[in-house]
Structure 1
């Protein structure tokens, strides 16, 4: 897997990452969502450089102009509910993309730290010969994306798979590299060192879904 990690270079992206981590700033859920969207926009722009393009001639009011436009068909698949702000940010750059959504949540059958990822709702177009972009803001253990990959197999064979995440753990990145095709590319804003016993990223930022939309039952 090819990993593109962006917090090692100074850019405005690091400001957005700092704000979504800050316990005081993240109390404003609207600002938290918007920062996730902006991170998605930046990562979408970086990903766009890896896609295929074709020669195109544009008719302007004063003449013709040769340029290059994206020739790939993109399918954007996000994990509900935490992935929605990230999805919106990426979709604002890939506005012709087809969309897929999947619900995946952690189930603790024994009410302890051990959990399994349960996939229930899933809707996606045919993926054959398309560029699949999977979005999940928090790449913690990698189990969620592994289950998402399994669910997508019945929808065809994508031309290429990209993953966009905001913050990941080293454990999660390693797991994804093991289960996804070798030519998969990961576009991630920051990678942290640790995980808690419950599989949450340390220092991370907390629960992205709760911070975006409020606590769940």
Structure 2
């Protein structure tokens, strides 16, 4: 897997990540969702540089101009719930893509730290031969992405896979690298070293779904 880690680069992306991590700012759920969206816009812009382009001649009011236009067929798949604002951010730049949604959540069968990832819902077009973008804000253990990849196999084999995440942990990134094809690209704003005993990223930012939309109702 090819990892594009923006942790050590200096850009306005740093400010958005700062606000999402800061406990005194992240309580503003509207601002938190907007920052998720803005990070999605920045990361997908960087990703767009790797897509396929062809020259296209267009007419202007005063003549003609040749421009390079993207030709990749893209399916954008977001993991609910926290993936929704990230999905919107990517759609702000890729407004003609096909859309897919999948519900994947942690289930603690014994009430302890061990958990399983349950996939309950999937709505997706064919991804056969297309470019698949997976929007998963928090790449913690990598188990969610593993189960999502398994679920999507019934919809075809994509030509290219891009994962867009806000914050990831090294153990989760290492697992994803083993599971996904070698030419998969991971676009990530920040990478933290560790997970706690419940599999959450440390220092991370907490539960992104709860911060976006409030505690999950069972």
Common topology (TM > 0.5): yes
Distance 1:128 1:194 in 2: 35
Partner residue in 2 for 1:109: 109
Partner residue in 2 for 1:43: 43
Partner residue in 2 for 1:211: 211
Q: What is the CA distance between 1:129 and its match in structure 2?
A: 1.3
SS in 2 for 1:27: coil
Matches for 1:7-156 after TM superposition, within 5 Å: 7-156=7-156
Q: What is the CA distance between 1:47 and its match in structure 2?
A: 0.2
1:43-76 Cα shifts (integer Å, max 9, x gaps):
0000000000011011111110000100001100
Distance 1:73 1:26 in 2: 35
Distance 2:216 2:146 in 1: 24
The two structures have a TM-score, normalised by structure 1, of 0.99
Q: What is the CA distance between 1:128 and its match in structure 2?
A: 1.1
1:79-126 Cα shifts (integer Å, max 9, x gaps):
001100100001111100100000000011111000000000000000
**CA RMSD of superposed structures (Å):** 0.5
Consecutive unaligned residues in structure 2, runs of 5 or more: none
Distance 1:112 1:27 in 2: 27
Q: What is the CA distance between 1:215 and its match in structure 2?
A: 1.2
Distance 2:150 2:79 in 1: 14
Distance 1:181 1:30 in 2: 36
Partner residue in 2 for 1:158: 158
State whether residues 56 and 68 of structure 1, in contact with CA within 8 Å, keep that contact through their aligned partners in structure 2: yes
Consecutive unaligned residues in structure 1, runs of 5 or more: none
* Moved beyond 2 Å, runs of 4+: none
Distance 1:94 1:128 in 2: 19
Distance 1:181 1:66 in 2: 35
Distance 2:3 2:215 in 1: 32
- Aligned positions, number: 217
State whether residues 7 and 13 of structure 1, in contact with CA within 8 Å, keep that contact through their aligned partners in structure 2: no
State whether residues 137 and 167 of structure 1, in contact with CA within 8 Å, keep that contact through their aligned partners in structure 2: yes
